[in-house]
Structure 1
Amino acid sequence: MRMAAWRRAGGAVLRVLVVWAVSTLTMLVLAGALPDFRLQSADGDTATNIGITAALAAGAFGLLGALVWPLLVRALLLVPALVLGLLVFFLNGSLLWIALSLLPDGRGEAEPQTAVVVAAVMSAASSAASTFLAVRDDGAYRRRLARLADRRWRRAGRREVPATPGTVFLQLDGLGHDVLREAITAPEGDEPLMPTVAAMCRDTHRLVPWHTDWSSQTGASQLGILHGSNEDVPAFRWYEKETGEVMISNRPSSAAELQRRAAARSGHPGLLAHDGASRGNLFSGGAAQAALVLSVSARRGRHNRSRAGYFAYFSDPANATRTAVSFVAEVVRELLQAGRARLRGERPRVGRGGLYPFIRAFATVVERDVVVAAVLGDILNGRTAVYADLVAYDEVAHHSGPRSRDTHQVLRRLDRSVALIAKVAERAPRPYRLVLLSDHGQSPGEPFAAHYGLTLEDLVRAGCGLPVSRRARRSVSGAEARAAARAALHRPEDGHGAEPHRVTGPGPVVLGSGNLGLVSFPGIPGRATREEIERRHPALLRTLADHPGIGFLLLHSERHGPVVLGANGAEHRLATGEIVGHDPLAPYGPRAAEAVLRTARFPHAADIMVNSALDPATGAVHAFEEQIGSHGGLGGEQCRAFLLYPRLLSAPDEDGELFGAERIHHVLRRWLREAESAPVLPTPIPARVPLH
């Protein structure tokens, strides 16, 4: 035992010396390459003295980073997270400047901007060396994680790690079942896009599809999954007549209100109420630990400051350096990919300029890195239930298409994130079950405005006999990454380009939610009936129903109750099942009528609910937003999400096909109950997954 302890101590000292040596060599190289950075006195020095100076400076910089850096970042926790990401470099440079000032005889000197560059490169080099040594020495890596987990447990006041399994629910936002099947199926003689997930499917897990509600978007799906009720959530955004406000799922105030309503309806705080953590989600799920959660992003309390997740990540300067470099690389990658799409004349195509490259980089780099780091911390902390959302695929698919080369690159990186989580779970203080799922899929197709030359609002106004604008306006995307970026900037609801809270004026309110449109008439109290709309606007319903880009309309009839209208006078009377002419819902599958009828009963369903047309051959739809990969309504792969779960868990579909987010909530709750009484055996997660 004593020899083993001495061997471990010797290995630790050796690793510190190697990292110190790498930092020293990096500093020497930079001193030779940068004219504004020197490690010698003004009169010159011998090579030996310069080497000693570099070693002293590297040691002082490393010591300051270990002792002072976490205190500086914690003091700046209230600074906007993206600003903090940039400020990290200046703080790091300041520490290097202080380290150089401590050298004797003024041997170290650097211009401020040079100090920032040197500090960033040194942090990256030392981090790479430390990670390489830890991964090479598996025993050291295991002990390092064990010490971290033990320290976090002591800090939390717990004396014993639970022996029952914990569960990690990892949501791959917007990834449809069919796209995932293709990503884990290897072409002949090649490796699949997602080798880690493919190994899970082959060895330990089972993949099943589940069908979303009519509102196939994160707001409705994640609210149902985490809180057990998505009642009265007709779309991503909708107008509420009694208040005159537009509810938007990714606005913090709306998300908080939706969470409150769902908890009141379901009678419990949420899926994660017992020792849970919510990471990167729209809603908290009742978790006491919430980081990067939109519904609590506006809070300022010490225990519910969701942005504290940024501190946990940026408190390591190496993390900040690595993420910043990847962020810049992703912006450049997007600019090149967008340029290539324009040069090739790819169709359909949407605008990818403005802030989009930065929003994409935030979703695919910053949000991913911070959320994954938070999940790893939860695993090492022995948390009972963790639910995390990675939005990278969804954001890129909106602009590049669900099966584009751009999304393939994102899927490869998401697979590496899954691999890292699985690897750390193998060394956690308790066994873990890893469940992957999505909240919806994506359907391809050219935007409605691009294909037909006018927006849905233009069409509604024309049908009402009102003036129509000469140019189509861009709809604000419903992508979750945009709201997360605004929250990170401390501007969750305000600022240029934000969607309106209130609607004024008597004209129709027209909103888009993927390929689902909503039309409301503020001047008509309550739900406007079909008969009332026809009296006021005789041409409107036929203008909409007969348009080739629209599949069907949902209205409420005084005579027949909820009714679906299609082209050429077709009707589907949902209360009785009576069909006049061709069934407008036939192209949308056997469960379409059930999904539409459920939404028709929502108090805040719009006066007219509009679903775009569906191409049965290709599964293409027309989004009422500027998206070539969309979701939000019925039609195509957007309605087919996936659930990938360990085979040792009970089957989720004992009563038939999985339908609706609320059903998924009950399945996940059942699995958490099963874990509470499970025998103390490690969950088989693919072994020896490479650490990235």
Structure 2
Amino acid sequence: MALSPEIRALFGWRRVLGRVRAVLRSAVTTFVVVTVTLWLMPGVAGTDIVDTLGLVVLVAAVGAVLRPLLLLGITALGGWGAMLFGVVTQVAVMVVALRLDPANRIRGLPTLLTAAILAVIFAALLDWMADAGSDDTFVREARRLMRGVRRRAARRAGGPLFTLRRPRPGTEPGLLVIQLDGVAEPVLRWAVRAGNLPILGHWLRSGSHTVRRWHTGLPSTTPASQAGILHGASRQIPAFRWFEKETGKVMVANRPRDAAVIERRLSDGRGLLRDGGVSIGNAFGGDAVTNLLTVSHAALPGRSARGWAAFMASPYGFTRALVLGVAEVFTELHQARLQRRRNLRPRVSRSGAFLALRPASMLLRDVNISLIAEQMARGVPAIFCDLVDYDEVAHHAGPARPESMRQLESLDRMLGVLERLSEEAARRYHLVVLSDHGQSQGSTFRQRHGETLDEVVERLTAPDTAAAPRELAEEQGKRDPDAEPPTAPLLVLSSGNLSLVYLTRFPYRVRRAQIEETYPRLIAGLAAHPGIGLVVVADEDGPVAYGPGGGVHRLRDGVVSGPDPLLAYGPRARADLLRHQEAAHVGDLVVISSVDPETAEVAAFEELVGSHGGLGGWQTDAMLVHPAAWTVTGDLDGPDAVHRQLAEWLVMLGLREPARPALTTGDRLHPGDLDRDRSARLSPSRD
């Protein structure tokens, strides 16, 4: 009797060889780990190799029984419960195996726990070294997850209860958008030309994709860009943090409570991800049906996100990321020490909270890739995910420094991982890679001038604010003790080299004449400061930009007197500033640091060597990598324009209804463009 295709596939020599290789590798890894662990444990009597081999078998047996049960528990818990339970999963397997060891070499719970933790750490490091630092094991685990998701989906759709057949790749189109946070277009091009980004470099050199620059405008921040890209509403956000006079509240866009309020303002039900899309790791949801690790939704993935549970339970998931993340802390300490020894400038402190950000960003990256893999297996039409690794490191190291470039190289590897996972996807996903802004480098404002911008403002307004502490104290005594503390009469909120200054005692936006009446030295003093390049204020005839040397530029009509303060900021500066003046809750004064005309360095008002938020340098030069056959129909000036372009592509792919009933020739892409898109999708490759 002839064997069925499923049986032949199951016992094909490639699959059998792969299973044998995996079993042997696992056995060797466990043997080495157990041997080293027992050798390191004080007071543990040595035994022969037969006992150790027996313990290897016992570990495998316990893992085969216990790990699926723990996975069910993790899946049921979801969220933080899954994370906490996932931490102990691998340790629990090792503790049970060592406790059942017939040789009874380790006694007592504290010793068992210590030995188990050491074994888990050694296993993670050994697996990483066995893969030569690659992501092969991670890919295999993700593929296993994706196949399981697709088989369960097939059963729910009325398929057989059990099948040996490998799910076929999907043929319907899908869109996967990966945001590489903070990567400037010139930095990306330089890294590709240097040969440091093999995945993106191959796409560009093969002609499957092309890269273009898009202009973020002001503010050049993630919340503003994502408000535009995902919702087409960037003018709702004037900076990373701002003050709202109507409510008396300071809004910070990466604070979940504030982000939820902001998203309610942004959403009109027509966001980029409205038609069954998924948001992963973003600031806002884009009206997605599913939001995972999205700040505005302030929740970890729940029980329905099996990818979250599988990542937490897998020895190649959370445990691997945790161990390698700790290694990142030591790497960061070493890199910071090298900067100090070489007296590299500009530089800032890289200790404190930033040390925790390095392993956290690595963990978040791997979690995000696992969640993307699961959603690709589910066949959702559109996925948008933000990967923040490069941006976090570049803030403290510098956007083009070696450690930042290594983070960019690791993100390029993640694109390769997604490429390899595409053969398990339920759709034929096309990939778009973009950034939300760039970064500009420079010594900070405080490093250059010995004082912060807040201190400069306080000095320039001192005569008018001398009585403020007493007045505030009196007002505080009248307030509800549970209410928020009173706001200072003059508030400075900085985002990179952009700062918004608010006269909080006025419930409306204050014009120039009233500011000068209240604080006569403020505008002129700020404009004359060597660390400040622009001070923008509303006037009777529209907004006016003041700069050094008495330069004045009337933004509405473009009339300039004295040295033009906008020259150093490029040809789009006037339009950027005018658009920014129309943003909700913009400051009474908008202050932007000076920019060096030779080096394009800026002076961040925060303690960041790489910054973004304002104008100057590469911070407004974002990038967009897209299939070469796809047409860009307009000037990508601002994140709202990128939103419209992505929506156009979704319509072209048949994933979104057109926004307009009729279109003229050339305004819309045609389905025939997909036929010319030979390899623009994620091209599958096999291990």
Under TM normalisation by the shorter chain, which class is it?
Answer: 0.7 to 0.9
Shift of 1:19: 3.8
Contact 1:448–1:456 under 8 Å retained in 2: yes
Match of 2:204 in 1: 201
**Residues in 1 aligned to 2:438 and 2:648: alpha-carbon distance in whole angstroms:** 24
Deviations 1:318-355 (A, max 9, x none): 31221122101111100000011111111111011112
Structure 1: runs of 5 or more not aligned:
187-191, 470-500
Match of 1:176 in 2: 184
Contact 1:23–1:122 under 8 Å retained in 2: no
1:323 aligns with 2:304: no
**Residues in 2 aligned to 1:299 and 1:79: alpha-carbon distance in whole angstroms:** 7
Give the alignment of 1:382-461 within 5 angstroms.
Answer: 382-461=379-458
Name the amino acid aligned to 1:636: G
Shift of 1:164: 2.7
Q: 1:111 to 1:343 in 2, by over 3 A?
A: same
Match of 2:567 in 1: 586
Aligned pair count reads 637
Name the amino acid aligned to 2:199: T
Q: If the length of structure 1 is used for normalisation, what is the TM-score?
A: 0.84
- SS of the aligned residue for 1:636 comes to coil
Contact 1:88–1:317 under 8 Å retained in 2: no
Aligned counterpart in structure 1 of residue 644 of structure 2, from 633, 641, 666 = 666
- SS of the aligned residue for 1:271 comes to coil
**Residues in 1 aligned to 2:127 and 2:39: alpha-carbon distance in whole angstroms:** 22
Name the amino acid aligned to 2:214: W
Name the amino acid aligned to 1:153: A
**Residues in 1 aligned to 2:562 and 2:135: alpha-carbon distance in whole angstroms:** 69
1:239 aligns with 2:243: yes
**Residues in 2 aligned to 1:664 and 1:132: alpha-carbon distance in whole angstroms:** 36
Match of 1:637 in 2: 618
**Residues in 1 aligned to 2:377 and 2:204: alpha-carbon distance in whole angstroms:** 25
**Residues in 2 aligned to 1:516 and 1:464: alpha-carbon distance in whole angstroms:** 20
Match of 1:489 in 2: none
Deviations 1:15-62 (A, max 9, x none): 555544444444444444344899xx99x98755653x2354033223
Name the amino acid aligned to 1:181: R
Match of 1:311 in 2: 309
Name the amino acid aligned to 2:246: E
Contact 1:280–1:291 under 8 Å retained in 2: yes
Contact 1:30–1:37 under 8 Å retained in 2: no
Match of 1:525 in 2: 507
Deviations 1:334-391 (A, max 9, x none): 000001111111111101111211112212x111111112112222222211111111
Contact 1:199–1:686 under 8 Å retained in 2: no
**Residues in 2 aligned to 1:65 and 1:130: alpha-carbon distance in whole angstroms:** 26
Contact 1:230–1:662 under 8 Å retained in 2: yes
Deviations 1:213-262 (A, max 9, x none): 21001010011000111123111100111111111111111111111111
Deviations 1:507-539 (A, max 9, x none): 310011100011101112201111011111111
Match of 1:167 in 2: 175
Contact 1:272–1:287 under 8 Å retained in 2: yes
- SS of the aligned residue for 1:347 comes to coil
Aligned counterpart in structure 2 of residue 551 of structure 1, from 533, 542, 553 = 533
**Residues in 2 aligned to 1:545 and 1:261: alpha-carbon distance in whole angstroms:** 34
**Residues in 1 aligned to 2:345 and 2:181: alpha-carbon distance in whole angstroms:** 24
- SS of the aligned residue for 2:499 comes to strand
Contact 1:461–1:467 under 8 Å retained in 2: no
**Residues in 1 aligned to 2:192 and 2:128: alpha-carbon distance in whole angstroms:** 32
- SS of the aligned residue for 1:287 comes to coil
- SS of the aligned residue for 1:318 comes to coil
1:290 aligns with 2:291: yes
7-16 vs 519-528, which deviates more? 7-16
Shift of 1:625: 0.3
Name the amino acid aligned to 2:172: T
Contact 2:231–2:270 under 8 Å retained in 1: yes
Match of 2:496 in 1: 514
Match of 1:147 in 2: 147
**Residues in 2 aligned to 1:113 and 1:300: alpha-carbon distance in whole angstroms:** 30
**Residues in 1 aligned to 2:175 and 2:372: alpha-carbon distance in whole angstroms:** 11
Match of 1:72 in 2: 73
Deviations 1:634-653 (A, max 9, x none): 11110110111001212x2x
Contact 1:149–1:429 under 8 Å retained in 2: no
Name the amino acid aligned to 1:150: R
**Residues in 2 aligned to 1:686 and 1:301: alpha-carbon distance in whole angstroms:** 30
Deviations 1:550-583 (A, max 9, x none): 11111111x2222212223322222333222232
Shift of 1:72: 3.4
Aligned counterpart in structure 1 of residue 262 of structure 2, from 237, 251, 258 = 258
Q: 1:125 to 1:403 in 2, by over 3 A?
A: closer
Deviations 1:42-89 (A, max 9, x none): 9x98755653x23540332231344222123235534378x73xx645
Q: 1:24 to 1:309 in 2, by over 3 A?
A: closer
Tell me how large the CA RMSD over aligned residues is.
3.6
**Residues in 2 aligned to 1:300 and 1:420: alpha-carbon distance in whole angstroms:** 22
1:564 aligns with 2:545: yes
Q: 1:663 to 1:423 in 2, by over 3 A?
A: same
**Residues in 1 aligned to 2:309 and 2:65: alpha-carbon distance in whole angstroms:** 18
Contact 2:146–2:374 under 8 Å retained in 1: no
Q: 1:65 to 1:318 in 2, by over 3 A?
A: farther
Contact 2:78–2:303 under 8 Å retained in 1: no
**Residues in 1 aligned to 2:135 and 2:112: alpha-carbon distance in whole angstroms:** 34
**Residues in 2 aligned to 1:256 and 1:67: alpha-carbon distance in whole angstroms:** 36
- SS of the aligned residue for 1:533 comes to helix
Structure 2: runs of 5 or more not aligned:
160-167, 467-482, 656-670
**Residues in 2 aligned to 1:46 and 1:613: alpha-carbon distance in whole angstroms:** 71
1:118 aligns with 2:99: no
**Residues in 1 aligned to 2:595 and 2:356: alpha-carbon distance in whole angstroms:** 32
Percent identity, aligned pairs only?
35
**Residues in 2 aligned to 1:172 and 1:548: alpha-carbon distance in whole angstroms:** 34
310-319 vs 6-15, which deviates more? 6-15
Name the amino acid aligned to 1:630: S
1:225 aligns with 2:222: no
**Residues in 1 aligned to 2:141 and 2:75: alpha-carbon distance in whole angstroms:** 27
